[in-house]
Amino acid sequence: MKKLISRASVFVTAAMLCTAMNVFAEPYAIVPVGCPVQGAPCAQNQPCNCGKPECPKCCDSAPVFNSCEEIQAWKIKFCEKRACLYDKLCLTQEQRVKAKCIDDKYFDEIAPLKMCCKQEKMKLKEMECKKCKWKVKHEQKQKIKDLKSEIKEKKKEHKECFMQILTSCQKDKYKELMKDKCKKHKKAKCECGCK
């Protein structure tokens, strides 16, 4: 009888522990303002105020596109291109881990800058439609120029960091691939000269 009671108490205690663990298993999630569900993209055609680290701060200036969603789409495309490059260069597993780390850091730095640049270009387009004063347009053009310079600098830093993890043969192959990429990029789309 005593054994039955002790076994029953063990089962009751275990059941209580499981219930308590289920109650406290889900940590309290702070949902940012502007995003109705945690992890959900920002509202379409709205200024983004979700407070997500990947969302550029300048998107408070009412963009006409979904910045969080667009950055996510860029990241997927960027990662696919880089994975393809790793294969072409025959990177080892150790090199791939380092390369992924370098690429992630680069993307997190460059994506908000590219997004801001895109928005500033849209603002300039609006200014030209509204026939704003020359001085205002000139200041806007300078802002875009500064952002482009910053993006160029980040690209240079990224290339240097990436080159450091490559062997001499891989470096040669990488330079060759970059040359081909530039040629394809500059080449006219058809023989009649249209682009």
- Residue 50 is classified by DSSP as -
- Residue 57 is classified by DSSP as G
35 backbone dihedrals φ, ψ, rounded to 5°:
-115, 110
Q: What is the pLDDT of residue 185?
A: 64
Task: Determine if residue 190 is left, alpha or beta; phi over 0 gives left, psi from -120 to 50 gives alpha, anything else beta.
Answer: beta
Q: What is the pLDDT of residue 37?
A: 40
Q: What is the pLDDT of residue 26?
A: 35
Place of tokens 């802002």: 143
Q: What is the pLDDT of residue 183?
A: 75
Q: What is the pLDDT of residue 78?
A: 92
* 10-60 tens-digit pLDDT: 444 444 444 444 333 333 333 333 333 434 444 443 444 445 544 444 444
* DSSP per-residue letters across 91-131: --HHHHHHHHHHHHHHHHHHHHHHHHHHHHHHHHHHHHHTT
Can you tell me the distance from the alpha carbon of 13 to that of 16, in angstroms, rounded to the nearest whole number?
5
Identify whether the C-beta of residue 164 lies closer than 8 Å to the C-beta of residue 112. no
* 95-150 tens-digit pLDDT: 999 999 999 999 988 888 888 888 888 888 877 777 777 888 888 889 899 999 99
Q: What is the pLDDT of residue 9?
A: 52
Q: Which of residues 47 and 66 earns the better pLDDT score?
A: 66
Q: What is the pLDDT of residue 137?
A: 82
Q: What is the pLDDT of residue 128?
A: 74
